[in-house]
Chains A and B, each alone.
Chain A
């Protein structure tokens, strides 16, 4: 497994990777809580971006409704915690099948009935909208008034219940991101990964070669949905409040696909790099606007939009493919 993990990566790349990881593990000892929160945001977006990338970047299926899976994961685990006292780690075991099952339903409907491309993207939006309206009327988890997890001032970290200080959340999401990276790396190099890429590039040709496109697209959706739901569990326990209007809003779905697109769709480092760029720039701009006293709602989103526009026009393949060529690192796409 280790051999497969490092295969195709240059020595220089490996050293850089090890240094980066060591740096990330040590960093909470040197920075304040604000910066840790920014880092949490970065890895949160890197993680969901990585999960979304399995569907779009690997198998070529554009989902614009991924907030659905985040929301399902968040609500499943939060409901278990609040109503039954079941902790988040068990909650994850419940969230993955819930999100995966719904992903399977959507995938089945879409792929069986030949819904593809833009139509597929709109179908995913439709289901996310269903969930938004549905949860608005779902009283058991608070409906439109919101659903809240009990909060207190924590002096000790309770990892089992995910109650504690930002640094604990940082290590959890860092762990998620690293795990997602390794899983994606292995998936991409697996037989199935090559099937996915064949489907992405030319589905009729892939099918002519005997690849069961329906089956592999289904697997991609289910894995992506299940992985995204983990981010939802994290979201619920980190923010402690859930509103259907926010969690399932289409802007959430768009927000989480920005990082992989800016970083590079279909690449492994793309989602991570994209998250660093976006969150870093947006926090910097937030500070600058704050200092200038022009801190208006919407300014940040305008900036997001401009970033997206610039990247899609100037570097349509994303920043990572360009950067890795510049740095002389090899990453085969």
Chain B
């Protein structure tokens, strides 16, 4: 096979990986602050994807335009979920939180199955078949737009956590729960806010993903696992780690699809996960837990 096929696939994997990264960023933010593992993450992703499909088919709105409103909807959903359901479980054992979110995930995925049916749904935008030619490389326009959007949202998030008052307050909660309570931060509200922000990341990622891949309800659990793999690979709680992990997994999947078979993709992603868990459990960019 000529070398440019590999290059083409690698670039395509890189671009998809950035969208994966944004999705995983949501999981990472939630875990980094609230210390709850969102087992319904992929299901929230497919909710966003279905919203984008609906907006496109009913109102004719472009998914990339719908990114912001869909992120807002998911923000409200995430906020409500944390404030109403997960909040009381913050100090419960890990396995109970896990099971609570598994229950949420099971409900979400099957409600989607009932509402939308098992068939794949997608969007056909005006630029669906456009591509850029860079030398010998041919790059899908949709993936470029989606990746750029993912980078923009991630950058906005970095700025938010670094420079705004609320962002700093959230980081304070993550650093020292008791300390944050002592200085009078409304931790419960900040947790809900964080969960909302994490969900909004997924919302934005979902809206972008629709232009790359068709959505079915069964994508939900698959994306949950994928988000875990990415976040653990990159470092749970690390924001750059999530993006890096996304790119790494995106490219690995693309290469595995090319060199072996598309169905072997997840196997390679999980192989990376197992290696990381065994040899660098804190993840590539993660800090060693005390």
Give the CA-CA distance A326 to B273 in the complex, in Å: 46
| A175: Cβ under 8 A from any B Cβ | no
B267-A113 in contact (CB<8A): no
| B192: Cβ under 8 A from any A Cβ | no
| B270: Cβ under 8 A from any A Cβ | yes
Q: How many B residues touch A, CB cutoff 8 Å? A: 41
A115-B114 in contact (CB<8A): no
Chain A residues near B104 (CB, 8 Å)?
Answer: 305, 309
* Sample of 29 A–B contacts (CB below 8 Å): A56-B95, A62-B95, A109-B278, A113-B277, A118-B37, A119-B281, A123-B274, A125-B225, A126-B274, A129-B225, A133-B267, A251-B221, A261-B99, A297-B114, A297-B118, A298-B110, A298-B114, A299-B110, A299-B114, A301-B106, A301-B110, A301-B113, A305-B105, A305-B106, A308-B106, A309-B103, A309-B107, A313-B100, A316-B92
B residues 85-101 in Cβ contact with A at 8 Å: 85, 88, 92, 94-96, 98-100
Q: Do most interface residues of chain B lie in helix, strand or loop, or is the interface mixed?
A: helix
| A114: Cβ under 8 A from any B Cβ | yes
Q: How many A residues touch B, CB cutoff 8 Å? A: 43
Give the CA-CA distance A302 to B266 in the complex, in Å: 26
| Among candidates A114, A123, A308, residue contacting B99 with C-beta atoms closer than 8 Å | A308
| Among candidates A133, A137, A309, residue contacting B100 with C-beta atoms closer than 8 Å | A309
B residues 66-104 in Cβ contact with A at 8 Å: 85, 88, 92, 94-96, 98-100, 102-104
Give the CA-CA distance A231 to B264 in the complex, in Å: 28
Chain B residues near A316 (CB, 8 Å)?
Answer: 92, 96
| A296: Cβ under 8 A from any B Cβ | yes
B111-A302 in contact (CB<8A): yes
A130-B107 in contact (CB<8A): no
B281-A113 in contact (CB<8A): yes
Task: Give per-residue flags for A130-149: 1 if the beta carbon is below 8 A from chain B beta carbons, else 0.
Answer: 10011011000000100000
| A250: Cβ under 8 A from any B Cβ | yes
Known contacts: A250-B221, A305-B106, A309-B104. The answer to whether A122 contacts B273 by CB under 8 A is: yes
B266-A129 in contact (CB<8A): yes
B11 to chain A, nearest CB (A): 26
Give the CA-CA distance A297 to B267 in the complex, in Å: 28
